[in-house]
Structure 1
Amino acid sequence: MTDSAVTPQASDQYVQSLARGLAVIRAFDANNPVMTLSEVAARTDLTRATARRFLHTLVELGYVRTDGKTFALTAKVLQLGYSYLSALSLPQLAQPHLEQLSLKLGESTSAAVLDGPDIFYVARVATRRIMNVGITVGTRFPAYATSMGRVLLAGLPQAKLEAYLTTAELTPLTPRTVASVPDLRAAVERVRTQGWCLLDQELEIGLMSIAAPVWNHNNGDNVAAINVSLQAQAVAAQPDSAKYLDHVRQEVVATANAISQDVSAKH
């Protein structure tokens, strides 16, 4: 992460110290929840002295904790995104529907929105951990390699989709990942046509998921996506895996439609 990556075209209103402080916070993620000073400096392209000042400032403000050797975010950092999530009202609307869906299927369910090149989890009901990386509200994954990301990309106006395809860094996360622009464009178009997405082990081997869009029918915006996470091995063990996946798809689409009605009614 470099300063130029944080702000390619800094204006005269740009505050570099604020950008660097936010870069330090963003350096922590699911794969790097606890880091040393050197690791933070390396991930932010800051000098050790600069990284130390920002880290200790965040410690004094309560956003970071330290044992003297390593650093980690505290729960207080969630306050930075609370206003955004509350304004959406989506988590509150989606949560009971996700809980009902999880209860029906016995699987984990989630809701996410598109945030730049990533999806951002805004609601989650977990039954068990089936990924190497734990998923919580606030978790981010690249949109191109997730079922909810494909659904959200399919809901973009064509010009915005093309802009995404032009700038996205498509990396094969597994041997199954769709990681070329022509293939991804075709995959998104299929999702747009059918109205849902089945992803088979593109984000992580052993993980499948089915997602559907949440719409605000008042303006036609695709405001979010929901999904159900499945273990590929468990799906394969079903007497009729195709029939089982179709059942899950129907439940996911029905739940997404119910959330869409609530979103549209509230707005």
Structure 2
Amino acid sequence: MQPLTRALDVACALAQASNGLTLQQLCNRLPVPAGSMHRLLGVLQEERFVTRAEGSTRYFIGPAAWEIGRNVRAATRSLPKRALGLLPELAETLGLPVHFAELRDGRAVCAWSSGDGHDVPPAPAVQAGSPLPLHATASARALMVDLERYQIRQLLSTAEFTPYTPRTPRGVPEVLERVAFTRTHGYNVAHGEWDGRTWALSASVRGGAGQVIGSVTVATRQTRPALRVARDRVRREVLRTAAAMSAELGWCPAPTAASSPAAA
């Protein structure tokens, strides 16, 4: 197992070094003797996981590793049937509209919606393919939960901060504050931001590498009397569904201190 572990450590180190690393720099970062590192780099280079230009002493992440990354991103664009099947189950359980959103080319887009044929129409109407305002929806904020502040600013730099209602965030700082809430609590709530009568709750869905690939959302008119007494249940069911979908996609979260064997 040690050679495999070392190979993964080398790949991770190079993936984080845009300017590449020399053999000595890799040895300094990783507890691997120079001779072993040289042999390991030779194998990785032969398999195209590491590359080095002729005459250069610096190693870079190779095309085989990039190809794996592209394949992973492509695979997450198509949800397995079992994961996708959890969405209508959530809509049936709660009796409320559900939609699943993805971040595509810098835009939040609805990829699936229970709106068609559902007893309670979503509000505002969210159908598959519909764009979702980055600044005014819980769905979009759940998609941004792992982004750095500068990445969120960059994403919002071309967004129109349309003031849909008095509760609509008016600028980047307000969006950053709401994304921070999502990181702390594991879900996001939008209360009359896009539509004055809409209440929505969203949670992130992760792929096998832990990356956020989408968000699952329950969104409906906040005037429904049953909703006012059922928000805790909505939160529990949305979080449960997001976790179940993530598990179907291979995500296994790190155990918390309370659940680790050492803490038992």
Interval of TM-score (by shorter of Structure 1 and Structure 2): 0.5 to 0.7
Q: How big is the alpha-carbon RMSD for the aligned residues of Structure 1 and Structure 2? A: 2.4
Q: Of 76, 99, 110, which residue of structure 2 is paired with 1:110?
A: 99
Whose Rg is larger? 2
How far is 1:91 from its partner?
Answer: 6.6
Q: Of 177, 185, 190, which residue of structure 2 is paired with 1:199?
A: 190
| Distance (Å, rounded) in 1 between the aligned partners of 2:209 and 2:78 | 17
Aligned to 1:79: none
> Would you say 1:148 and 2:139 are equivalent positions?
yes
Percentage identity across paired residues of the two chains: 27
Q: Give yes or no for contact 1:94–1:123 (8 Å, CA) kept in 2.
A: no
| Distance (Å, rounded) in 2 between the aligned partners of 1:121 and 1:139 | 5
Aligned to 2:201: 210
| Distance (Å, rounded) in 2 between the aligned partners of 1:172 and 1:91 | 37
TM-score under structure 2 normalisation? 0.61
| Distance (Å, rounded) in 2 between the aligned partners of 1:192 and 1:198 | 12
| Distance (Å, rounded) in 1 between the aligned partners of 2:138 and 2:210 | 20
TM-score under structure 1 normalisation? 0.60
Runs of 5+ unmatched residues, structure 2? 1-72, 252-264
Aligned to 1:129: 121
> Would you say 1:221 and 2:211 are equivalent positions?
yes
How far is 1:249 from its partner?
Answer: 0.4
| Matched AA of 2:96 | E
Query: How big is each residue's C-alpha offset from its partner over 1:185-212, in whole Å with a ceiling of 9 and x where there is no partner?
Result: 1111111111101111111121111110
Runs of 5+ unmatched residues, structure 1? 1-83
> Would you say 1:120 and 2:118 are equivalent positions?
no
Change (3 A) 1:118 1:91: farther
What is the number of equivalent residue pairs in this alignment? 177
Q: Of 163, 167, 186, which residue of structure 2 is paired with 1:176?
A: 167
How far is 1:162 from its partner?
Answer: 3.0
| Matched AA of 2:247 | Q
Aligned to 1:247: 233
Q: Give yes or no for contact 1:113–1:122 (8 Å, CA) kept in 2.
A: yes
* Bigger helix fraction: 1
| Distance (Å, rounded) in 1 between the aligned partners of 2:243 and 2:84 | 14
How far is 1:146 from its partner?
Answer: 0.9
Q: Give yes or no for contact 1:93–1:263 (8 Å, CA) kept in 2.
A: no
Query: How big is each residue's C-alpha offset from its partner over 1:150-203, in whole Å with a ceiling of 9 and x where there is no partner?
Result: 111123244422322444332211111112221111111111111101111111
